[in-house]
Chains A and B, each alone.
Chain A
Amino acid sequence: MSSNPEGAKRYAPFVIIGVVLAVVVVGIALMSRPNNANTSTQQPTQNTLLSSTSAPQRTPTAGAPNPHARGGEKAAVTLEEFSDFQCPACGGLDPGLRSISRDYGERVRWVFRNFPLSMHKYAFIAARAAEAAGAQGKFWEMHDLLYDNQKDWVDAPEPRDLFASYAARLGLDVQRFRADLDRQDLADRIKADYERGISLNVRGTPTIFINGRELMPGKLPSEQDIRREIDAALSPAGK
């Protein structure tokens, strides 16, 4: 025992608690930073959130031929979105993307790529519903309905009937739509898109590429982030 054990021992726990508190606070602060640091320092001169290191490890695969696209065929900016119809984050971003598409019109080409994640049990059938509507020329209309009503069908015991009701609402041939839900060539399109995502190192949804470069890798971009990048790409310096 030291000559003054009580004194030393009385303060020791508070010192330990204080040190742990400091470590936790500093740790949280450091952990919260890296993404911002990455995105803001990768290309400081261009003030861009695009990844400079998103060059894929493998040669990217083409994805489904004639992908579903909104906007100008020869637009200066191509926004390629990898998305999952059941992903709430995709549903959250979708109104923003639609508003961007409306505002930029022919200047931006919005390409939709299916990236249904296996953890979402209806993501694949929802993608099939969108493709089946696409077979009747109403992919985007179904795309919008699927996101607008995401909360309804994700909890449905069997979403096919709901999807068929959306098809009816869009004026599609419902019988054909139901049959097309099981069409192998449409399922293959979805798989081709997914494979393209994998080849581009997509790890989650939504993932946005602007003119071939991933926007804010690992982070969820907001509508404003996307608008900023499109503006930068449309400005003379960005071309």
Chain B
Amino acid sequence: MSTEAFEKSGARPRGLWWDAATALVALVGLTDAAYLTVEHMTGRSVRCMIVSGCDEVLQSSYATLAAGIPVAAVGALAYFAVFSLATLAAFGYGGARRLLAPLVAVMFLATLWFFYLQAFRIHAFCAYCLLSAAVTTTLTLLVFARRLTDSEKRLS
């Protein structure tokens, strides 16, 4: 992050609470995705459990990318990126904020895809994956609602 991007306004950065909320919600997603990554890697969910859903989803072919990388790990990285960008934005790094919207948009599209896979391909829902979907949806709403209020302020 270049120091030019740092807002030296001295005043409280605009939209601090939006950024802080985004960072906190991303932290929930990060915890969730990290848990799923561990479940995937340790193979605990590879067994079929009485109380289930996640093992069906995590042991499906859709849970792993071509190079054997768990999808959950990519999710954890994405949440970490959102958390980092939102934290930087909260402290006035304007450039970080600009990267948030495209990143969250991609994550939201991925979430729609995962929801489709669970509903129509795997025929099982994993509660932790649904939590992740809720987190990404919340992030999308936060980031885009914030952009909307920003542009309204600029117009007025």
Name A residues whose Cβ lies closer than 8 Å to a Cβ of B: 1, 5-6, 9-10, 12-13, 16-17, 20-21, 24, 27-28, 31-32, 35, 84, 87-90, 117-120, 203-207, 218-220
- B87 with A10: CB separation less than 8 A: no
Are the C-beta atoms of B76 and A205 separated by less than 8 Å?
Answer: no
Residues in chain A near residue B88, CB distance under 8 A: 13, 17
By a CB distance below 8 angstroms, the chain B residues around A219 are 42-44, 47
Tell me whether B50 is interfacial, beta carbon within 8 Å. Answer: yes
A120 to B52, CA, bound (A): 10
Judged by a CB distance under 8 angstroms, whether B28 is at the interface is: no
Chain B residue at smallest Cβ distance from A203: B50
The 8 A-B residue pairs whose C-beta atoms are closest, nearest first, are A87-B48, A204-B49, A204-B47, A13-B91, A31-B38, A13-B87, A119-B52, A17-B84
- Residue among A10, A35, A206 facing the most chain B CB atoms (10 A cut-off): A10
Contact of A90 among B27, B37, B48 (CB under 8 A): B48
**Could you list 20 examples of A-B contacts with CB < 8 Å?**
A9-B91, A10-B91, A12-B91, A20-B27, A24-B31, A27-B34, A28-B34, A28-B38, A31-B42, A32-B38, A32-B42, A35-B44, A117-B49, A117-B50, A119-B48, A119-B56, A203-B51, A204-B49, A205-B47, A219-B42
Partner of A13, one of B27, B37, B43, B90: B90
* Known contacts A17-B87, A31-B38; is-contact A220 B46 (Cβ 8 Å): yes
Q: Could you tell me the distance between the alpha carbons of A1 and B27 in the complex, rounded to whole angstroms?
A: 28
B59 interface residue per 8 A CB criterion: yes
Name the residue of chain A whose CB is nearest to the CB of B47. A204
B108 at the interface (CB under 8 A from A): no
Please report the C-alpha to C-alpha distance between residue A35 and residue B91 in the assembled complex, in whole angstroms.
40
Interface size on B, residues (CB 8 A): 37
Q: At the interface with chain A, which of B2-10, B109-117, B131-139, B142-150?
A: B2-10
Chain B residues whose CB sits within 8 angstroms of the CB of A89 once the complex forms: 46-48, 55, 59
B53 near A: Cβ within 8 Å? yes
Q: Please tell me if the beta carbons of A88 and B80 are within 8 angstroms of each other in the complex.
A: no
A27 and B76 alpha carbons, distance in the complex (Å): 13
B10 touches A5 (CB 8 A): yes
Chain B residue at minimum C-beta to C-beta distance from A87: B48
- Asked if B83 and A28 sit within 8 Å, CB to CB, the answer is no
Q: Kindly state whether residue B105 has any CB partner on chain A within 8 Å.
A: no
Residues of B41-92 whose CB lies within 8 A of A:
41-44, 46-53, 55-56, 59, 76, 80, 83-84, 87-88, 90-92
Whether B35 is near chain A, meaning CB under 8 Å from some CB there, is yes
Shortest beta-carbon distance from A186 to chain B in Å: 22
Which of chain B's residues has its CB closest to A221's CB? B47
Pick the contact of B42: A35, A90, A203, A205 (CB < 8 A).
A35
Chain A residue nearest to B33 in the complex (CB): A24
Extra A-B contacts (4), CB below 8 Å, given A32-B41, A220-B47 = A10-B91, A13-B84, A17-B87, A204-B48
Question: How many Å lie between the Cα of A206 and that of B90 in the bound state?
Answer: 49
- Chain B's closest residue to A27 (CB) is B34
Q: How far is the CA of A206 from the CA of B48 in the complex (A)?
A: 7
Cα–Cα distance between A16 and B85 once the two chains are bound (Å): 12
Q: How far is the CB of B99 from chain A (nearest CB, A)?
A: 14
Contacts of B53 in A (CB 8 A): 119
Please report the C-alpha to C-alpha distance between residue A239 and residue B54 in the assembled complex, in whole angstroms: 39
| B30 at interface, CB cutoff 8 A | yes
**Which B-chain residue is minimally distant from A21 (CB atoms)?**
B80
